[in-house]
Structure formats: structure tokens, C-alpha cells
Amino acid sequence: MKPLLRYLGLAVGAYLLMLVITLPATHLNGWFGAHLPQLKLHTPGGTLWSGNAASVRIDNTTLENVEWCYAPTALLSGRIGFNTQIKSRLVKGEGLLSIDAEQLVGIDGLTAISSLAQLPLPPMAAAVKPTGKLELRLTQARLAGKQIKSLTGELIWRDASFSLAQPVALGDLKATFATNEQGLQIDISDLGGDLQTNLKITIDAKMNYRLNGNLNLRNQQRLDLQQLLSMLGARGNSNRAAINLSGRLPQLPLTL
């Protein structure tokens, strides 16, 4: 009798799952409104199993051409998941979007590429006219509404540069990030450019940050980098600047 009940329970569960994932994609906006209010689909089509949206709005950013399909392997970890692709002019990327029984949203194996010249930037960042290409490799993220429960991954800034009085090229930079008991830790390093970079940023749950580390000039012929290091506190001809800053970040779309 017990094996029969077990098989019956599995059959009922599979049937209910099929009912859910074959619902029209328009039902997603109701779910997002309750669990990810910063995200909204425009002109969704298809079903929860396999669908698309003309665009997705995340806070003040719009991404066009988003597609998804059901990922049955996510059930092995107790989650309902969807392989998602973004084919927007701003960002090209793909990854696994999922949710568990506790309504915890998951993002796994996300890779995305974008050009800084096309991204909407906050005024302070836009003022220095950063250029280059961003490559995001998000290993995993867990979100409860607007709160980040866990986050690990890396961001590579290819051909990094910005402008002060004139353009300053920095080469390639890499930021690895992970949450821990203290909040979020970000380690920034160079990938062999003219400016040796070794920086660490910690951000706590109250959005207080601390930035520590140092910058060293490898190529003594780079007068623009010498001027930059001098502005950052390099003494004499040392071509080395120690960085020690702290403060509080403005309100962000997500919290720790």
C-alpha cells in the first residue's frame, strides 16, 4: 500500500507541476510583483515552460529580447528553474533562474557581456566617461525580495579606461566578489597592465564601505598614470599610492 501511495503522490506532484509550467507567460508578472517587484515583463508570450518577452524592465533599465525554457534538472536541488537568454542591445547573456520552496530566487551560472558605452550609468560614473567591455560571470546568487542572501562571481573590465583631463587607459581589471558574515567583499586586481592593482572593498548590511589597497606603476613611461597616482597621494617618485577610504553608499536597488 505504501509504495502505491508513494507513486500516486509522485504522479499528482508531476501533474500539478505540468499545470503550473504550462500556464501562459502573462502569469509571471503577478509572481514578479510579489517576489521581485523591481522586475517587469513587457509583452510576454508563450508559457512558463517555454516563453519570451519583448523586453524586461529591471528598475530603470530595459533589456530587450528575453527568452526562457523550463530546466528540469533544477528539481534535483529542490528548485523550479528556467534557462534564460538575454539578447539585448545593452547586454547579451544566459543563465539559470530558479526559485525554491521558501520563495528564495536563485541565479546560477550567469554569463553576460556588455559595452560600457551603451550602459546607463549614475551621474558620478558618467562624468569620467568610462569605456571598455564588461564580462560578468555570476557563479550563484540568492535573493529574498530586494535582499541579497548570498552572491559569488567575478566581473572583468576589458580595455578599461576613463577620462579626467584626458583619457587614461588601465588595461584589463578583474573584480571577484563574495558575501560572507561581514557583508560583501570585493577584491580588485589587474590582469597584467601598466598599473599594478591590489584593492579590497568591504560593504556591510548598512551599506557602509571600506576601500583599502595600493596601486603601483609598472611602466615608468606612462606619464598619465604617474599623474593619476600623484592625485591619489603618491609621494615623490615612488609611483605608488596607498588607498584607504571609507563611507556609506547611497540607497541601492538591492540590500545585503
Residue holding cell 543563465? Answer: 95
Secondary structure in 3-state letters for 211-251: EEEEEEECCCCCHHHHHHHHHCCCCCCCCEEEEEEEEECCC
Gap between the Cα atoms of 105 and 91, Å rounded: 21
Q: Which DSSP helix (H) or strand (E) runs through 123?
A: helix 123-126
Place of cell 557563479: 139
Identify the sign of the CA torsion 91, 99, 96, 72. negative
- What pLDDT, on a 0 to 100 scale, did the predictor assign at position 14? 55
User: In whole angstroms, what is the distance from residue 125 CA to residue 113 CA?
Assistant: 19
Q: Identify the CA nearest to 196 among candidates 176, 175, 217.
A: 217
The answer to whether 153 and 136 have CB atoms below 8 angstroms apart is yes
Alpha helices (H) along 36-110 = none
The DSSP bridge partners found for residue 171 are: 160
- The structural domains of the chain, with segments of one domain joined by +, span 24-103, 114-256
Q: What is the pLDDT of residue 42?
A: 83
What one-character DSSP code corresponds to residue 165?
Answer: S
Strand partners, 198: 189, 214
* pLDDT for 68: 87
Q: Which residues, given as ranges, of the chain have pLDDT below 70? A: 1-23, 33, 35, 236, 253-254
pLDDT of residue 122: 76
pLDDT at 7 (0 to 100): 54
- What pLDDT, on a 0 to 100 scale, did the predictor assign at position 4? 58
